[in-house]
Amino acid sequence: MNRLTSVRSKSMWLASVFMVVFLLFGWEATGLAQENIVDINALTQETQKTSQKADEMTFLWWIPEEFWGASFAQDPNTTVAQAEEFIKILRPYTVIVVVDGKIGAFAGVTYIPEAAIRDSIQIKDSKGARYLPLSEDAIDADTKSLLSMMKPLFANTLGPMGQNMVFFLFPSDNKEGQKIADAKKEGSFSVEMGEREFRWRLPLGSLLPPKICPTCGEKLSGAYKF
C-alpha cells in the first residue's frame, strides 16, 4: 500500500470517529428516518482532497452539514432532535479538516505546524471572494468544546496523522447571507494553501438522486450534466 492510498484508507475511519464523539454526549435514541439514504462512503470521498505530489502528505476534508445529517439518519440510535442539537453547533461554520506534511527520502513525514497552515490557508468562493479562518475568539464555546473532544480520538485512532489533524473554521455565509459552500446548489469553491489549490465542484453528486443516461441506460452521478 503506497502512502497516498494509506491516507485515503485512514480518512475513511473518520466518519466512525465522529459517531463516537456523538455518543460521548450520552444521548439515548429512538431512531431517525431518511427518505433518500445517502452513500456515506461516496459522500466522504467526494468531500475529501489529497495532494498528488509524491513528496506531500496533504489531506483536506470539507465537512458540510449534509454529512452530519446523512450520518445520523443512518444511525438507528439517533432522533431528529438529537441530530439537530449536534448539527446546530457546527452550522455557523464552513468546516475544513487539514493534515499537511512533507515526505522525506526515507518515507518519514514532517508535519507542518498548525500556525504555519493557518497563515497560508483561505477559502475562495465561486465569485472569487476570499475568507480567512476564524480566530479562537470568533468561535462559539460549545463548538470549541466539541472539537476538543474530537482531537484525542483522532490521535488514538489515526496515530501521527490524527495528532496533526487540524480543524479550521470559516464563516458559513458571505456578506449577502448566502452559503459560501452549498453542497446541494450549483457552484464551486476552493481551499487555497499558499500556491496550492483544492477545488470542489457543486452540487455533490452523492447527495442527489442518480441520473440515468437516456442513450445507454447507464446509472450516473446525480450531479452529471448531459
Mean pLDDT by 10 residues, the chain (226 residues): 48 50 41 62 91 92 92 80 89 96 93 97 97 97 89 82 93 96 96 97 89 57 53
Distance CA 64, CA 44 (A): 10
Nearest by Cα to 26 from 147, 149, 165 = 149
Integer CA distances (angstroms), 74 to 15, 17, 22, 42, 80, in order: 12, 15, 14, 14, 12
Q: In this structure, how many other beta carbons lie within 10 angstroms of the beta carbon of residue 168? A: 21
In terms of Cβ atoms closer than 10 Å to its own Cβ (0-12, 13-18, 19+), residue 78 is buried
Angle at 23 between CA 100 and CA 18, to 5 degrees: 20
Q: Which conformational region is residue 182 in: left (phi greater than 0), alpha (psi within -120 to 50 degrees), or beta?
A: beta
Angle (CA) 110-116-121 rounded to 5° is: 115
Q: Which residue ranges make up each domain of the chain?
A: 3-220
Quick one: pLDDT at residue 213?
54
CA 5 – CA 94 distance, rounded (Å): 26
pTM here is 0.82
Identify which of 59, 71, 61 has the alpha carbon closest to the alpha carbon of residue 18.
Answer: 71
Q: Residue 225 phi/psi, 5° resolution?
A: -110, 125
Q: What is the pLDDT of residue 157?
A: 76
What's the pLDDT score for residue 72? 83
The amino acid at 6: S
pLDDT for the residue 199: 98
